[in-house]
Structures are given as structure tokens and as C-alpha cells.
Amino acid sequence: MAQLVCDNVDGIATIGDYSWPLSMWLSQLKFSQELQASRLIGYLLARQVEQQNWPEIDLVCALPLHPLRWVSRGYNQSVLIMSAFLKEIEIPVYTGLVRHKYTRAQSASNREKRLTNIANAFIAIEPILDKKVLLIDDVLTTGASIKAATLALKNAGATDVYIACGATRLFI
């Protein structure tokens, strides 16, 4: 059984496992430019976060793409999910998390590559002292991206980082 490596997060909420129909919606959003899928995913994710016994969240941010990946895809699916999420739950947005290291797409990598590929890929360029941050992503596989982003947020002063993902798809 695969284990998540994001042991530095303070809580994780997901809609469910990466199976139909959730897998179809997420895949269409990420790879087929079916952007309307983000509305349903954001709505359902907000319902999941509301059910968590977490302290009040101060800031929310989406897992960023490297600028080159953003240009090639044309959008960041996590930003679209966050936008829909914010229609349900009002939380100030933190825009200081940046992906400054370009790597191969995680979806094209095996587990070992995923774990090393993403190390030190993120930096938080604005301090967030004593804040609880919610990080939104589409799919949680190994947790390598989440771990690296959480480290950057905590290095910038976040006290807690919680994760909200559309689905979990544990990668063996």
C-alpha cells in the first residue's frame, strides 16, 4: 500500500477517491479544458471542508503551476477549483506561493521521480506570520507536491497548513 509523504500538513479533506465520476470530472478539467467541471468540484470541496473540525482558516491558496506549464495549458485547474470554492466559503486569498522550479509533469512520473522531482519547487514570496492556510489542489497522489508547498508556506510563517483536494489517488 502506498503512503502519502506529506507528513508536514495539519489536515486533509478530499471529495473522495479518484474513481468515476470524480475521476472523469477531474481529468476533463485538467486535460480536456472542460472548465465547467471546476464549479462542481469547488462546490463539493467546500462541503467537505465545512465538515472538518479545523480551526478558522485565515488564508487560502491554490497549488501553483510553473509559469511555463501555465502558458502551455492556458490555466491552472487548482485556481479554477479555488475560485468555485470561494463562491461557497469566503476566505482571503494568498497569492504569494510561487512555483519557481520547472519539472516534468508529475502525472508523467513514477513514484520515485515524483518524490524527488518536486523538492524545493515552491517558494512563498510574501510572509504569512501566524496564519492558518488552506492549500487547494486537484488530485493527491504521493503528496510530494503538497509536502514541498507546505514547507514553503511554513517557512514563510504559516502556523498550520490544511489541504483540500478534489480526490486522492494513491500512487504505488
- pLDDT for the residue 169: 86
- pLDDT for the residue 93: 98
DSSP string covering the chain: ------TT-SEEEEEEES-TTHHHHHHHHHHS--TTHHHHHHHHHHHHHHTS-PPPP-EEEEPPPPHHHHHHHSS-HHHHHHHHHHTTS--PBP--EEE-S----GGGS-HHHHHHHTTT-EEE-S--TT-EEEEEEEEESSSHHHHHHHHHHHHTT-SEEEEEEEEE----
- pLDDT for the residue 109: 63
Backbone angles phi, psi at 15, to 5 degrees: -70, -40
CA atoms within 13 A on the CB side of 43: 7
Pairing of strands 132-140, 59-62: parallel
- pLDDT for the residue 158: 98
- What is the residue-level pLDDT of the chain in tens, covering all 172 positions? 456 778 899 999 999 999 999 999 999 998 888 899 999 999 999 999 999 999 999 999 999 999 898 888 899 999 999 999 999 999 999 999 999 988 766 556 666 666 677 888 999 999 999 999 999 999 998 888 999 999 999 999 999 999 999 999 876 5
- pLDDT for the residue 1: 40
Task: Give the torsion through C-alpha atoms of 69, 28, 47, 127, to 10 deg.
Answer: 0
Q: Are 159 and 10 in contact (CB under 8 A)?
A: no
- pLDDT for the residue 170: 74
